[in-house]
Amino acid sequence: MSIPVGILGATGLVGQRLVSLLDGHPQLEVVALAAGDERVGSTYAEEVTWRIDAPLPATSGQLTLDHAHPAELSGDPEVVLSALPGSVAREVEPVFAEAGTLVVSNASFDRMASDVPLIIPEVNAEHIHLIEHQREARGWDGALVKNPNCTAATITIPLAALGQFGIEQVRAVTMQAISGAGADGVMAIDAIDNVLPNIPGEADKLASEPAKLLGSYTGGRIEPAGLTVDAACHRVPVIDGHMASVWVDLDTSPEIDAVTEAFDTFSPVDLPSAPTQPIVRRQELRRPRPRYDRDEAGGMSVTVGPVRVDDSTVQFECLAHNTIRGAAGACLLAAELAIETGYV
Ligand SMILES: NC(=O)c1ccc[n+]([C@@H]2O[C@H](COP(=O)([O-])OP(=O)(O)OC[C@H]3O[C@@H](n4cnc5c(N)ncnc54)[C@H](OP(=O)(O)O)[C@@H]3O)[C@@H](O)[C@H]2O)c1
């Protein structure tokens, strides 16, 4: 099977990850790449400032960059993976979905819309069926599927493992990598020797997205999970890898062995890009660390650090690769789920 796929925002940090991860993909073949207007007409290899520690795939390098519009994208892709900035994505993604394309998007607009699946396959695969409701409501032949915010994904995967104990309240302090702000996001003078508190908009995404992600799908709608999330979000001088210190207040008081077993046995899914172990637990006091743990399972696993249980509160550190598990890899997983469930 080879399904033609286009990447919008292919020259950015997430777009480059998509190009890299799709090299040799068993189901999807890159046929089109799009970037900003001034690059259109040049080849990808000529325009991209390649920032990935693997060679630029030759076949993608030879593709000519297109405008991010269905009428102008080469190769008639059935699937479009969007790594566009939010303001551009808001205009462009619905046009692709209306034109019959499955769009899987990293941009935040419409993540909380009631008819838009916000997907982590290990957590809420059944939410993909919102596509039927969306197609009916919006009159689209295609569909719009969203990835969660990168830090929301990092935190929600371990929260899903703890769901069996009843989650009431979550507090988190995040330490987020520079690459999370995009290729031109943080100037060196701010990034080095510094911590930047209050990342704009981030705490709001953490307050809203986990409840939808962990919600139940019934009768064509998502019933949000009844938890609250308060977060303080910081940009730190790390290239890749978002980390968080998390406190979870439960409505039960489990033994620590039950909690660690819940992390260790959290179920994988059978999709081409899925890790065999979504949560990797480290016992060492000083792990996880971004430099050592962000590439676990090719960047697709979340690493959970030492777990403490104090009555009904569980505390742990967690870390995931923001442009892979938090963005490009998440996008591939959602596309693979849509293929498996027959929406492509
Ligand atoms: N970085 C992360 O860790 C992360 C994680 C999760 C989600 N996200 C989300 O993913 C998206 C991409 O993030 P990023 O970090 O990859 O950003 P980025 O490095 O700034 O890349 C943005 C991409 O969009 C293209 N673009 C900009 N304006 C355009 C236009 N008018 N028409 C067509 N293409 C245009 C850029 O092309 P040019 O090179 O031509 O300007 C570039 O390829 C954003 O929505 C972001 O919020 C990012």
> 318 an active-site residue?
no
pLDDT value at position 132? Answer: 97
Mean pLDDT, rounded, for 320-329: 98
Mean pLDDT, rounded, for 156-169: 98
Nearest Cα residue to atom 23 of ligand 1? 9
Mean pLDDT, rounded, for 153-182: 98
Distance 322 CA to ligand 1 centre (A): 14
Atom of ligand 1 nearest to the CA of 68: 33
Distance 13 CA to ligand 1 centre (A): 7
Distance 103 CA to ligand 1 centre (A): 15
> CA–CA separation, 13 vs 22, rounded Å?
14
Q: What is the DSSP string of 122-188?
A: HHHGGGGGHHHHHHHHH--SSEEEEPPPHHHHHHHHHHHHHGGG-EEEEEEEEEE-GGGG-TTSS-H
> CA–CA separation, 156 vs 150, rounded Å?
10
Pick from 8, 14, 91, 118 the residue to mutate for probing ligand 1's pocket: most ligand atoms within 8 Å of its CB.
14
Nearest Cα residue to atom 30 of ligand 1? 36
Nearest Cα residue to atom 44 of ligand 1? 85
Q: Prior bond to 288 cis, omega within 30?
A: yes
Give residue 219's pLDDT band: very low, low, confident or very high (50, 70, 90): confident
Pick from 21, 84, 108, 149 the residue to mutate for probing ligand 1's pocket: most ligand atoms within 8 Å of its CB.
84
Mean pLDDT, rounded, for 203-221: 96
Distance 285 CA to ligand 1 centre (A): 36
Using the predicted structure, report yes or no on whether residue 1 has a pLDDT greater than 90.
no
Prediction pTM value: 0.97
Mean pLDDT, rounded, for 145-153: 98
Residues with C-beta less than 6 Å from any ligand 1 atom: 9-15, 34-36, 39, 68, 83-86, 88-89, 106-107, 150, 179-180, 182-184, 322-323, 326-327
279 CA to centre of own chain: 15
Using the predicted structure, report yes or no on whether residue 152 has a pLDDT greater than 90.
yes
Atom of ligand 1 nearest to the CA of 15: 16
Q: Which of the residues 242, 318, 321, 331 is marked catalytic?
A: 242
Mean pLDDT over the full length of the chain: 97
Nearest Cα residue to atom 15 of ligand 1? 182
> CA–CA separation, 45 vs 59, rounded Å?
10
Using the predicted structure, report yes or no on whether residue 274 has a pLDDT greater than 80.
yes
Bridge-based pairing state of the strands 216-218 and 221-223: antiparallel
Nearest Cα residue to atom 25 of ligand 1? 9
Distance 194 CA to ligand 1 centre (A): 24
Nearest Cα residue to atom 4 of ligand 1? 180
> 67 an active-site residue?
no
Question: Which CATH number describes the domain made up of 3-149+327-340?
Answer: 3.40.50.720
Q: Which of the residues 67, 69, 129, 150 is marked catalytic?
A: 150
CATH T-level fold of 150-321: Dihydrodipicolinate Reductase; domain 2 (3.30.360)
Q: 92: Cβ–Cβ under 8 A, 6 or more apart, which residues?
A: 8, 68, 69, 82, 84
Residues of the chain within CATH 3.40.50.720 domain(s) are 3-149+327-340
Nearest Cα residue to atom 14 of ligand 1? 182
Residues of the chain within CATH 3.30.360.10 domain(s) are 150-321
Buried b (16+ CB within 10 A) or exposed e, 96-135: bbbbebbbbbbbbbbbbbebbbbbbbbbbbebbebbebbb
Atom of ligand 1 nearest to the CA of 11: 43
